[in-house]
């Protein structure tokens, strides 16, 4: 069972989708890094756009005070997308990129602890459910209306960005090669201010109390949803069918419980449970769980 060939190619074991080419992806290993570069790395649906907005708010005063009107997608472009509108060379310093690449496909220079990476994980049941809803309105993804079938594809890594567990385990087990901060979606959800401060600290960015308050206020789900710079609603119609869903859909912890049956939950745990235990992450399945 392969994902639609129309939309996907595989490079070194990893599935890529539209908006890129094999040549672009293959060239990234030689991509020249600057020490000041910052990367947000995630498996899809783990809080990338959220972190993108937080970084734009932290790093750019104009973004924070609303004097500069630039979509986060342009301010923090995707490394693996080959978009004519974005010229990596002309990005202001420090350059910030988002990526779903696995650890072994990122620019070689990033090893040896060059550049800073923020890697965000989310509990994989919420990732899967978010991904399922996402695939219903993204024209770049294969539509699989049957959730059970989608789950099987997710579990076997037959989706864009391939296997969730390989992605997360890969980044965690190679953490020592990189200058990396690990965050979870759930900790951001539970205490956004602390997460913002952790990021500031990692980036060596000093903000006043008021500036931190402003970042936190503008990075809440409700406010981001209203912010055209952050909500990805300016996506061209050929990429996203806007009447069928939103990038900022629900923004909660534990939505998996609303869709997964007991049997599906057991099946999920059977496939991923053992390997998940080897990860140094305390998974939070419900917002009321102890962290």
Least distance (Å) between residue 35 CB and ligand PPS: 26
Closer by beta carbon to ligand PPS, 40 or else 59: 40
The answer to whether the peptide bond before residue 94 is cis (omega within 30 degrees of 0) is: yes
Assess whether 133 carries a catalytic annotation: no
Residues 34/39/41/44 CA torsion (nearest 10 deg): -120
Least distance (Å) between residue 267 CB and ligand PPS: 21
Closer by beta carbon to ligand PPS, 164 or else 178: 164
Least distance (Å) between residue 161 CB and ligand PPS: 8
CA gap 11, 25 in Å, rounded: 8
CA gap 105, 80 in Å, rounded: 10
DSSP 286: S
Are the CB atoms for 223 and 206 separated by under 8 Å?
A: no
Closer by beta carbon to ligand PPS, 109 or else 191: 191
Least distance (Å) between residue 132 CB and ligand PPS: 9
Which tokens go with 259? 């869709």
In whole angstroms, how far apart are CA 78 and each of 140, 243, 258?
A: 15, 25, 31
Q: Which of 100, 133, 167, 174 is catalytic?
A: 100
Closer by beta carbon to ligand PPS, 130 or else 162: 130
Residues that bind ligand PPS (CB under 6 A): 42, 44-50, 126, 130, 133, 189, 219-221, 224, 248-251, 255
Residues 234/237/243/244 CA torsion (nearest 10 deg): -110
* Residues belonging to the active site: 100
């Amino acid at each position: 069972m392969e994902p639609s060939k129309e939309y996907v190619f595989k490079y070194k074991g990893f599935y890529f989708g539209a908006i890129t080419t094999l040549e672009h992806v293959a060239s990234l290993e030689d991509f020249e890094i600057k020490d000041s570069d910052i990367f947000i790395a995630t498996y899809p649906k783990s809080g990338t756009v959220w972190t993108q907005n937080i970084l734009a708010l932290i790093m750019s005063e104009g973004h924070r005070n609303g004097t500069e009107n630039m979509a986060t997608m342009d301010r923090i472009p995707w490394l693996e997308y080959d978009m004519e509108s974005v010229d990596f060379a002309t990005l202001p310093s420090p350059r910030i990129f988002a990526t779903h690449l696995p650890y072994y496909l990122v620019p070689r220079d990033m090893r040896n602890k060059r550049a800073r990476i923020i890697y965000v994980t989310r509990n994989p049941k919420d990732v899967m459910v978010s991904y399922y809803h996402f695939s219903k309105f993204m024209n770049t993804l294969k539509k699989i209306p049957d959730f059970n079938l989608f789950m099987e594809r997710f579990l076997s890594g037959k989706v864009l960005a391939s296997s969730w567990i390989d992605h997360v385990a890969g980044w965690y087990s190679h953490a020592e090669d990189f200058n990396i901060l690990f965050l979870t979606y759930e900790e951001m959800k539970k205490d956004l201010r602390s997460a913002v401060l952790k990021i500031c600290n990692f980036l060596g960015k000093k903000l006043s109390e008021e500036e931190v308050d402003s970042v936190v206020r503008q990075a809440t789900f409700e406010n981001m949803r209203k912010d055209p710079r952050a909500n990805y609603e300016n996506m061209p119609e050929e990429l996203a069918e806007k009447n069928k869903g939103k990038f900022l859909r629900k923004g909660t912890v534990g939505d998996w419980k609303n869709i997964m049956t007991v049997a599906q939950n057991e099946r999920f745990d059977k496939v991923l449970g053992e390997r998940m235990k080897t990860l140094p992450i305390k998974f939070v399945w419900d917002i009321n769980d102890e962290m």
